[in-house]
Amino acid sequence: GEDVEQSLFLSVREGDSSVINCTYTDSSSTYLYWYKQEPGAGLQLLTYIFSNMDMKQDQRLTVLLNKKDKHLSLRIADTQTGDSAIYFCAETPGGKLIFGQGTELSVKP
Amino acid sequence: DTEVTQTPKHLVMGMTNKKSLKCEQHMGHRAMYWYKQKAKKPPELMFVYSYEKLSINESVPSRFSPECPNSSLLNLHLHALQPEDSALYLCASSQVGGWGRSRRELFFGEGSRLTVL
């Protein structure tokens, strides 16, 4: 089947904004998710968006959803070195949580 | 307590060994999951248990055998594995509910890193 697509790498300077993009496949997913995985750790839910919304803001995080294009993005404002991690978007086709390929965010001081 | 605890953290086994991975949660979650993750890749769903019954098996080879002895515990029994099975095995738990009706947050453990020689 089709893969949920993400750019593999993103490098930013501390204090800049980061934008991580995702193209998902399942138009019936009611919720779409962003998970964060730090080195050597499991995954942690970062934020989510309900499919009838086009934007959600949660402190430094802004999620944008374009259902027509099946495009999801995560913006991290004032990116810090502690934000360095792999970020996965995820959709929920048929009762399963399916992850995108992951974007490795590197934050340089 | 929002933790999912996995043991062991690291496991090295030969292709003829039998071993088990264990997962425990005390959040009252009735859905539990096994995912497999290769380096720099996304987690891939293996099994889902709902109310202690296997509800999803993603065509996983029979050398992986899951078990859910009670609502807090999930095991993954390993036998006759191949070197390509070396990976990080992640356990997760969540509330049960239709994906279409509710937001279902998965809580992940830190994983068991398996090396098959």
Region B11-23: mean pLDDT is 95
**B79: closest CA of chain A, how far (Å):** 24
Sign of CA dihedral B48, B52, B55, B58: positive
Judging contacts by C-beta atoms under 8 Å, the chain B residues touching residue A28 are: 100
DSSP string across A46-87: EEEEETT-SEEEETTEEEEEETTTTEEEEEESS--GGG-EEE
- Confidence band (pLDDT; 50, 70, 90) for B103? low
Q: How many CA atoms does the CB half-sphere of B31 hold within 13 Å?
A: 18
Q: Is the CB of B103 inside 8 Å of chain A's CB atoms?
A: yes
By the 8 A CB rule, do A108 and A79 touch?
Answer: no
Interface test with B, best of A31, A43, A45 (most B CBs within 10 A): A43
- Confidence band (pLDDT; 50, 70, 90) for B105? confident
pLDDT for B95 equals: 87
pLDDT per residue as tens, chain A (109 positions): 468 899 999 999 999 999 999 999 988 888 899 999 998 888 999 999 998 899 999 999 999 999 999 999 999 999 999 999 999 999 988 778 889 999 999 999 9
pLDDT for A41 equals: 85
Q: Which of B43, B104, B105 sits opposite A99 (nearest CB)?
A: B43
Q: Is the pLDDT assigned to residue B72 strictly greater than 60?
A: yes
Residue of B nearest to A40 (CA): B110
